[in-house]
Amino acid sequence: MMNMDKKLYNERILKLQNYMKEKNIDVSLLMDRENLNYFAGVEQVECMTIVVPQKGEPVGVTLWLDVSFIKENCLVDDIRGYVMPKDSVGSKVVEIIKEMGYENPSIGFERYFISYSFFNVLRNEFNTEKFEDLSTPIYMMRSIKEDYELEHIRQASKAVVKGLEAVLDKVKPGVKEIDLAVEAEYAMMKAGSQGMPFRPQIVTGKKILSTHPFSMNTEIKNNSILIINMGASVHGYVGKLCRTVILGDVDQETINIYNAIQDTQNLLLDNLKEGITCNDLTNLALNNMDKYNYRSKYLYVIGYGVGLRQSEFYPVISQGNPTVLKENMVVDFLMPTVYDKKFGGPRLTDTILVKKDGSEVLSKYPNDIIRK
């Protein structure tokens, strides 16, 4: 099911080509799932690249087994297959670039999503000094959402709330993290999610201070806190949230930390609107945490954009970042906790839509600490 029409496809390709013209990039390669979805409307795909010339029509390259499916579910008109092991996606792309008339081209691609084997084919054929990173301009293009994108994020946000409710219904001392993750994923998929965009972080114990923990066979204990950080995905678009659960009694300092984080999130929600910079929003957070004497243990990066990835690298809500937030951007905050080995760990995150005169929390669930 494609969620964009030919008109929007043409607009997005033209916008990319105009950037290429401005930066003297001859060919751009779109190869990760998110960009294949964004630029061509194709969701179910592996092993595919779209070759976009500075002028002219794009060409898609995919496994020969998938050509007929891709033609039916992709807005690129020219789809070509490659047969393994005789060919690879890289060798086919090189063939197409030369067919387009480029012998020594400047080539743009996202540095985060190219395999070594693909890169090796490119560097053996072309001058690596003319390779350009497209990451930032593409993230910028993706940052302001169309109506259909916002609808998918809303649906995903509703699904993730259903997952949270399922966890809260089952959580108690003795239950394993992984069993709660199973309940969450089942509930989210019943609510319309098509999968988790990242491993569920339903965690307790020392893991709560880790940057990217995930659920394991750890049993939840009484008199502890549980972090529930997870996401849902609808047509590739993400909704996410994080909440903190207290089981039994915990140190008052831990509760004080959560209260400071909650107060900071509420302050940011009151000030978030089109025109505020990432730097100003971050400084509001840091100054408010300073009021509670936690600033020295709090990070200077407090959130990211949300869209086809759970953490889009534009905008990054961080200190020193002058990026201006605009209407129909979707962001999340607050990402960090207070990093205190004895009392730290409580977290609170929501998916939030930037509006002209304010904001809207899309992951609609109370942001109070949850007691069990």
Asked if 226 and 245 touch (Cβ cutoff 8 Å), the reply is yes
Domain residue ranges in the chain: 6-142, 144-371
pLDDT in tens, 147-161: 999 999 999 999 999
Q: How far apart are CA 338 and CA 261, in angstroms?
A: 8
Q: How far apart are CA 79 and CA 82, in angstroms?
A: 10
Query: What are 176's strand-pairing partners?
Result: 219
The structural architecture, per CATH, of the domain 6-142 is: 3-Layer(aba) Sandwich (3.40)
Q: What mean pLDDT is predicted for residues 277-297?
A: 97
What is the pTM assigned to this prediction? 0.95
| CATH class of the structural domain 144-371 | alpha beta
Asked if 93 and 126 touch (Cβ cutoff 8 Å), the reply is no
85 pLDDT band (50/70/90 cuts)? Answer: confident
Helix (H) or strand (E) holding 266: helix 252-271
2 pLDDT band (50/70/90 cuts)? Answer: low
* Tokens 């972080």 -> residue: 201
CB atoms within 10 A of CB 262: 17
- Hey, is 308 helix, strand or coil? coil
Query: What are 201's strand-pairing partners?
Result: 229
Same fold, 6-142 and 144-371: no
85 preceded by a cis bond (ω within 30 of 0): yes
Q: Answer whether residue 110 shows pLDDT above 70.
A: yes
341 pLDDT band (50/70/90 cuts)? Answer: confident
258 pLDDT band (50/70/90 cuts)? Answer: very high
Q: Answer whether residue 1 shows pLDDT above 60.
A: no
